[in-house]
Amino acid sequence: MIKYDFTAFPHVEITGIDLDSLTKEELSVLYQAARYCQAITDKDIDTMREIVSEDMVFVHMSGMRQTREEYFADVADGSLTYYTIGMADPVIEMDGDHAVVTYTAILNANAYGARGTFRMKGSHHYENRNGAWIAVNK
């Protein structure tokens, strides 16, 4: 069985779930979600592009909508800076090549000049494309 090393993500903390209770597929989706969160904190745009579909639209707490490239540009230039990302109480729902990961995000961030810790519950959708889980819109 593939070993998923979540300790490889020092800026991501997953709480409220027993990783040993997850199936291989559930672990692979959660691992990709954590990998993406680490890439955001590292401003690793190449990894972010690898994980996020080209047509993804990001919706912020304020309701602002951005294309993938607009969002990535804001991460790259520091307009959005994520220091740590907590993933509290994740639930993974699988349906063939589709998965939804729902959790409370605990973001230690500076978002357009507003520095703080932001908590929000959300669902993140993934699709298995050629053996890799890719973040997609619903």
pLDDT band at 42 (very low <50, low <70, confident <90, very high): very high
Domains along the chain with CATH numbers:
10-136 (3.10.450.50)
Q: Where are the alpha helices (DSSP H) in the chain?
A: 24-42, 45-51, 68-76
Q: What is the pLDDT of residue 62?
A: 85
Mean pLDDT score of the chain: 96
Total-model pTM: 0.94
- State the Cα–Cα distance between residues 72 and 37, nearest whole angstrom: 13
Give the pair of three-digit tokens for residue 85: 């990302």
Is-contact 127 98, C-beta < 8 A?
yes
- State the Cα–Cα distance between residues 106 and 84, nearest whole angstrom: 8
pLDDT (average), residues 88-110: 98
Q: What is the pLDDT of residue 123?
A: 96
**pLDDT (tens digit per residue) in 55-90:** 999 998 888 999 999 999 999 999 999 999 999 999
DSSP 20: G
Return the bridge partners of 15, or none.
88
**pLDDT (tens digit per residue) in 107-123:** 999 999 999 999 999 99
Return the bridge partners of 94, or none.
99
- State the Cα–Cα distance between residues 21 and 106, nearest whole angstrom: 23
Is-contact 4 22, C-beta < 8 A?
no
Q: What is the pLDDT of residue 29?
A: 98
pLDDT band at 46 (very low <50, low <70, confident <90, very high): very high
- State the Cα–Cα distance between residues 29 and 34, nearest whole angstrom: 9
pLDDT band at 2 (very low <50, low <70, confident <90, very high): low
